[in-house]
Amino acid sequence: MATLLNSPSRTAGLRLGVPGGPLHLWHLASLDAPTVAAVWAWAFAWAAHVSLPVWMTAALALIVWTIYIGDRLLDARAGLRTPPAHELRDRHYFHWRHRRVLLPAAVVAGVAAAGLVISRLPARSVRPDSIVAAATLLWLTGVHTRRRMFSRATVHLREWVAEIVVGALFAIGCALPVCSQVGAAHSWQQFLRLPLAAIGIYAALAWLNLHAIAVWESQRAVRVRGAAVGLAVVALSLVVFCAPRSAVLLVAAAGAALLLALLDCLRGRIAPLSLRMAADLVLLTPAVFIAEKYLRG
């Protein structure tokens, strides 16, 4: 480990600063994922005509932040031990450099989230939340222990599976708080009011975000703009079948997909760190569209 840490290429990465200011720090410190999760959960709740308690949004953000910090620290540790088998990015070096701050912070965040969930989560929500938590834990365990079922697959197939699973888990995790509130505010039959089409589209959007980042960072010649435009078309085609608020979320998702397509067109002109940060920033479009609806009254 000491040899690896003292190698020129590795220490150069570990000395990484925070170029660009707050937005780059927002990405490097893994604050982007909990921000997106909180915004999506709030947007799903808005579309379902329910209000999320502050504690529930806070718990979701803390859980997501804890998972992302743990995942990136494990990736950084593995990459520094066996460099040929891993390709680390700026965010990994940042986490490893600041691990003495980020690891305790993640532990505190995880304990705080657990305390909120244990003390406040309705009994009816324990089972579905536990299923998603167990699925996430199993997935992370499989990824970081390199189970055989993944080692037999090709690299690109493994990436596709990872992107699809993570995208689905992320969107479902954002929707779970809304499900518990719908059950509390209405009869169980009112679950039909959940923006199911929007949740599905946002799962696809999460996948597209991950896929675009993987393609850009590996500098493959593959273009993702076709998939992005296709997702936007599907989202817009569903608008006519949805309630007004769900339609707003679908339009916002289409906007995010088209922005990812634009980033794909401009990727050769944008610094890698800024491109990665922008890919997460565009996922906040629901907040912009919903705020515009409020301003219009």
The dihedral built from the CA positions of residue 23, 211, 106 and 103, taken in this order, carries a sign that is: negative
Per-residue pLDDT, averaged over 142-146, amounts to 46
Q: Are 81 and 151 in contact (CB under 8 A)?
A: no
Angle at 167 between CA 212 and CA 40, to 5 degrees: 100
pLDDT at 125 over 70: no
User: 83 vs 85, which has greater pLDDT?
Assistant: 83
CA angle 90, 91, 96 (to 5 degrees): 100
pLDDT of residue 210: 92
Count CA within 13 A, CB hemisphere, residue 66: 19
Burial 14-24 (b: 16+ CB within 10 A, else e): bebebeeeebb
Per the CB < 8 A criterion, the answer to whether 263 and 223 are in contact is: no
CA trace torsion 39, 42, 47, 53 (10° rounding): 180
Q: Say yes or no to pLDDT of 114 above 70.
A: yes
Q: What is the mean pLDDT of the chain?
A: 80
Q: What is the pTM of this model?
A: 0.84
The whole-number average pLDDT for the span 41-58 is 90
Q: Measuring CA to CA, which residue among 64, 13, 24 is closest to residue 278?
A: 24
12-26, 43-57, 130-144, 149-163: range with lowest mean pLDDT:
130-144
Higher-scoring residue by pLDDT: 268, 127: 268
Checking if the pLDDT of 84 tops 80, the result is no
Query: Confidence class of residue 66 from pLDDT cuts 50, 70 and 90?
Result: very high
Rounded Cα gap, residues 178 and 49, in angstroms: 10
How many structural domains comprise the chain?
A: 1
What does the pLDDT read at residue 14?
Answer: 39
pLDDT band at 153 (very low <50, low <70, confident <90, very high): very low
When pLDDT is cut at 50, 70 and 90, the band that residue 51 belongs to is confident
Q: What is the mean pLDDT of residues 99-112?
A: 95
What's the domain range around 198?
2-295
The C-alpha R_g of the chain, in whole angstroms, comes to: 20
* The pLDDT of residue 145 is above 50: no
Report pLDDT digits (tens) over 180-238: 777 654 444 455 567 889 999 999 999 999 999 989 988 877 889 999 999 999 999 99
CA distance 251 to 234: 10
Per the model's pLDDT, the better-predicted residue between 297 and 275 turns out to be 275
- Angle, helices 155-185 vs 32-47, to 10°: value is 40
Asked which of 9-18, 59-68, 157-166 is least confident by mean pLDDT, the reply is 9-18
- 278 band by pLDDT with thresholds 50, 70 and 90: very high
What is the mean predicted confidence (pLDDT) over 111-124? 80
